[in-house]
Amino acid sequence: MKSLVVYSSKSGNTRKLAEAVYGFLDGEKTIAAIADAPDPSEFSFVAVGFWLMGGQPDPESQVFLARLKENQNVYLFATHGAAAGSVHAENAMKKAKEIAGKVHLLATFSCPGEVSPQVIEKASRKNPQPPWLADAPAAKGHPNANDLKMVVRMLEVLDLP
């Protein structure tokens, strides 16, 4: 199986998840920042990691997601300042699925990612404040060891070739 792991990461949170996914995969594999990603149509499995901006995947990730081909095996994962399982995080993943179109979506995973104090300060001055802001302090230290274990666990249960 030829696998591609691409990620968009402003703070390093999503990159940590991408590296865990890449480390788990066997066979021919490539990892790349989304800006340097090769053509996804050359791969039988593509894992796409992104961060949230305005309640949806960041703009670079949206462009990449739209390039995925129909029926391609895809795994989506994300980091965000919101709580795990929050409406904010769930809606963003839903948006990512819509953009990806008719891929064969194998699994999704999202977890909190630590938000820098500068971003928290800037967001706190907005009116209205972003929905994730109240959850941001609890994201400190994430992704943690358990998050890294769980992003890989999603792949273990798929029993990829």
- The CATH number of the domain where 124 resides is what? 3.40.50.360
How far apart CA 91 and CA 127 sit, in angstroms, is 21
DSSP H stretches of helix in the chain: 13-24, 59-67, 87-100, 117-124, 145-156
97-127 pLDDT, tens digit per residue, is 999 999 999 999 999 999 999 999 999 999 9
Instruction: Give the pLDDT confidence score for residue 157 in this predicted structure.
Output: 84
Residue 161 in this model has a pLDDT that exceeds 70: no
Please state the domain count of the chain.
1
Calculate the average pLDDT of the chain.
Answer: 95
Q: How confident is the model over 64-90, as a mean pLDDT?
A: 95
6-52 pLDDT, tens digit per residue, is 999 999 999 999 999 999 999 999 999 999 999 999 999 999 999 99
pTM above 0.75? yes
The answer to whether residue 46 sits within a structural domain is: yes
How far apart CA 35 and CA 61 sit, in angstroms, is 9
The answer to whether residue 161 sits within a structural domain is: no
Which domain does 141 fall in, by range? 3-156
The answer to whether residue 121 sits within a structural domain is: yes
Nearest-Å Rg of the Cα atoms of the chain is: 15
Both tokens of 160, joined, read 């990829």
